[in-house]
Amino acid sequence: MILTALCSVLCPQILHILSVPEDIYDNAYSYLLIIFLGIPFTILYNYLSSILRSVGDSRTPFIFLALSAVLNIFLDLFCIVVLKLGCAGAAIATISAQAISGILCLIFIIRKMKLLWLKKENRTIKGDAVKELLAMGMPTGLQFSITAIGSMVMQSANNGLGSTYVSAFTAAMKIKQFTMCPFDAIATSASVFCSQNLGAGQSDRIKKGLRCGITVGVGYGIAAGILLIFAGRTLSMLFVGKSAVAVLDASAKYLRCMGFFYWSLGILNVARMVTQGLGYSGRAVFSGVTEMIARTVVCLGFVGTFGFTAICFADQTAWITATCYIFPTCLWCIRKSTKMLASIAVRVNNAS
């Protein structure tokens, strides 16, 4: 609630910092304000779905999320086409779909998951548990926040180029977000696999997990990159009308430039998540810092000269820079973990 109130009040200042063009300011304000007001619903789904996954049920949150995505499409059409609410309608549709998915998770837990029902002894906040949760969650949250800051710098630099490039960038970001989901899934799976084998003392399987994760990630990155290179314009038409030729050209250019480097995410995401899964969260966070610095340097140093072309290469520069740091770091973390497991094995053998 604090975050919702704070963001809602500061909405005009946020848009000013992002250099939103005057001709789209009103639409941007209404959209962002509604999204901020809907933060509790976003938190509700993320919180409950994470709890369900933690007890081994990843299928149910996925089903509710899929239903939410389909519902979001129909609500978009209803709010924008039928009710003529414009950008505000798109925001209302998004928040409504998220609220429904969160409520469905809550109903499922109440009806089916007695294990998760709160008992009297669970209703007291325990300091040790809070500290443990913060110790695990803060590094991940900080990592995403740092990466988001770099993205905001890039968004701000792009906004200064005019509404045509704002529309093109927005369309490209929607496609990017969709195609990046498998990277996150692959990286999370590799992280869980490696951390479980660290606990089991299987150092060889940690190396295997990293190798397999990167292989699958790079393979997907190449396939997705080819799609973006050759079908970027067609994909952009899902969000931009055919008559907006300049917007389509710019969006296709961004996706094409991104597609050539998409494979690097297969290395970056897996190596970063494995590093975090092995307990070296600080080093994983620093990879996010390198991303932020690289994006900021490109946006502040080159957009003024090269315009939208610099925006097209900001992400790729950040990915390659972060990969050059995190991949050797991940290998070092694995070697250190392997030595630790070997040392533990020796002590156990000596004790027996």
pLDDT at site 249: 96
Answer for the pair 40, 15: CB distance below 8 angstroms, yes or no. no
Nearest residue to 18 (alpha-carbon basis) of 186, 131, 166:
166
Written as six digits, the tokens of 243 are 């008559």
For 38-104, the DSSP string reads THHHHHHHHHHHHHHHHTT--HHHHHHHHHHHHHHHHHHIIIIIIS--HHHHHHHHHHHHHHHHHHH
Q: Is the pLDDT of residue 211 over 80?
A: yes
Calculate mean pLDDT across residues 300-328: 95
Q: For the chain, what is the mean pLDDT?
A: 87
Q: Classify residue 207 as left (phi > 0), alpha (psi -120 to 50) or beta.
A: alpha
How does pLDDT run across 8-51, given as a tens digit for each residue? 888 888 888 888 888 888 888 999 899 999 989 988 988 888 78
| Confidence tier at 352 by pLDDT (50, 70, 90) | low
Q: What's the rounded Cα separation, in Å, for the pair 294 and 315? A: 8
Give the residue, 259 or 127, on which the prediction is more confident. Answer: 259
pLDDT tens figures, 246-267: 999 999 999 999 999 999 999 9
pLDDT at 196 over 90: no
Q: ∠240-246-247 over CA atoms, to 5°?
A: 35
Residue 309 has pLDDT above 80, yes or no: yes
Mean pLDDT along residues 193-217: 89
**CA distances for 7 relative to 30, 158, 209, angstroms:** 13, 22, 40
Instruction: State the pLDDT at residue 13.
Output: 87
pLDDT for the residue numbered 262: 96
For residue 275, pLDDT over 90 is answered with yes
Q: Percent of the chain at pLDDT above 70?
A: 95
> pLDDT per residue over 141-195, tens digit each?
777 777 778 888 898 899 889 889 999 998 999 899 889 988 988 888 888 888 8
Q: Are 320 and 260 in contact (CB under 8 A)?
A: no
Q: Which of 123-137, 169-183, 217-231, 283-297 has the highest mean pLDDT?
A: 217-231
pLDDT score recorded for residue 315? 94
pLDDT at 130: 79
CA distance 16 to 241: 28
The reported pTM is 0.78
Give me the mean pLDDT over the 324-352 stretch. Answer: 83
Q: Which residues contact 1 (CB under 8 A, 6 or more apart)?
A: 40
- 302 pLDDT more than 90: yes
Confidence of residue 351 (pLDDT cuts 50, 70, 90): low
Statement: residue 286 has pLDDT above 70: yes
